[in-house]
A and B are shown apart, each in its own frame.
Chain A
Amino acid sequence: MTAPYGATVLEHFRRPRNQRALERPTVVRDGYNPLCGDRVRMELEVAAGRIVAAAFTANACAICTASASMLTERLHGVATADAASISDADMVGAIGETLPAGRIVCVTLPLKALREALSALSPA
């Protein structure tokens, strides 16, 4: 528990926001990294094209857990179209520290699950 993480990662890992299951999720999608075993589940409640609630469950490393926590904070009240435009670089920037290339996937795993959830909402 003394990993050299920055203050933002540590804060969100120790006190994750929205780490729970929603009572009535509109859509749920899981993300999985087979290399390290990280698992994260993103849940969204959507009404009139806007995300009214976002939550997550993680059995994942500190960076992935922190990323999921920060992402759910960012999603509240956001239009689904805007949520879909959140980029990998946005999340990596939000983490606020220089990560080795091999850990970028930890940041983006919740985002990948979010994109799958949003795609399931509005099939092409």
Chain B
Amino acid sequence: MADFLDQIQRLRESERRVAMATLLAARGGSPRPLGAKLFVGEGGRLLGSVSIGGCVDARVVEHGERLLRGTRAERVTVSVDDVEALELGLACGAEFDLLIEPLSLDDDDPAIAAYSQAAQRSRAGRDVFLATTITQGEVRRVVIDAEADAPAGAFVERIAPPQVLVVVGASDVAVALARMARILGMRVVVVDGREQYATAERFPSGTEVHVGMPSELVRPWLTDGASVVLTSHDYRYELPVLRDALRAPVRFIGMLAGRKRADAVRALLRDEGMPDDALARLHSPIGLDIGGREPEEIALSIAAQLIAVRERKPLARR
């Protein structure tokens, strides 16, 4: 999911006020995760979605435009009630409870301030929770450390630390992967020893780009939950980085290589004393086998594998 604050930043380019719809509950169908957001700008411009295909978004827009004319929030229920489609079995018949509230897009807006505070606290590396209560059109939010601390009847959102993706080697695959990972809401860190590749201009806005000794630059990021992807395709960086990364509590380690070269890297590390259980953590060849050859296609297969690993799907390993 795209980061809330990134979405606010994008909205500020064209809007002064928006109505924000937050998915509180869903019955039936294939809903987005609770907490999903749809922003409605003046004139009906949209960002985000509270349903998979946008099937109820048009209904939300009507409420949003109405609420934008005032200052009060509303809890509404919207259902997919296309009777003909339901009878044909072509509609899911889902029903959604939503909080729709007007936001001014400045930092003083209470909702934006609350999400900013939660995001800042989660960046320390642990989950925080945002508890929202709605009373007679008034919305109150409080950032709490434990879900159990939420006030009675509150809607609670878990604000997880952004998934960190460390990319070693500022190759064209890295450029495409950084772009996709940013869309997926990840915090992207790119490191390379080569200053002509690791430039801010080559990477999407918000990517952290570092030049220096790669094995040292990655060390602070080798933490629980991080993913490390080596796209340098060069043992001079791969070996020093893998010596640390394979012993660190990271979620995922993958290396761009054919099977033969990957096995040679494993053999060399094994010869140095790297334990087999650590070597078994290395995903190489990397990416789901979708047959792509272009940098963007390879990046897509890697991004898909990162999601599969996060969701513990069996296809996560080749």
Q: Give me the interface of A with B, judged by CB distance under 8 Å.
A: 1-2, 14, 30, 32, 34, 36-39, 41, 57-61
Contact = CB atoms under 8 A, between A and B. Distances in A.
Interface in B168-201: 192-196
A57 B196 contact: no
B214 A59 contact: yes
A61 B236 contact: yes
Given A37-B234, A59-B214, A61-B236, A32 B267 contact: no
B264 interface: yes
Contacts of B196: 34
Nearest to A14: B271
21 contacts: A1-B267, A14-B268, A14-B271, A32-B193, A34-B194, A34-B196, A36-B236, A37-B192, A37-B193, A37-B194, A37-B234, A37-B236, A39-B193, A39-B213, A39-B214, A57-B215, A57-B216, A59-B213, A59-B214, A60-B236, A61-B236
A57 B213 CA distance: 9
Q: Would you call the interface of chain B mostly helix, strand, loop, or mixed?
A: helix
Interface string B269-304: 001100000000000000000000000000000000
Contacts of A58: 240
A39 B268 contact: no
B240 to A, nearest CB: 5
Given A1-B265, A1-B268, A39 B212 contact: yes
Nearest to A57: B213
Interface of B: 192-196, 212-216, 234-237, 240-241, 264-265, 267-268, 271-272
Contacts of B272: 14
Given A1-B264, A59-B240, A34 B195 contact: yes
B124 to A, nearest CB: 28
A14 B273 CA distance: 11
A41 B213 CA distance: 9
A59 B193 contact: yes
B261 to A, nearest CB: 8
Nearest to B232: A37
Contacts of B216: 57
Contacts of B192: 37
Given A1-B268, A60-B236, 4 more contacts: A34-B194, A38-B236, A57-B216, A59-B214
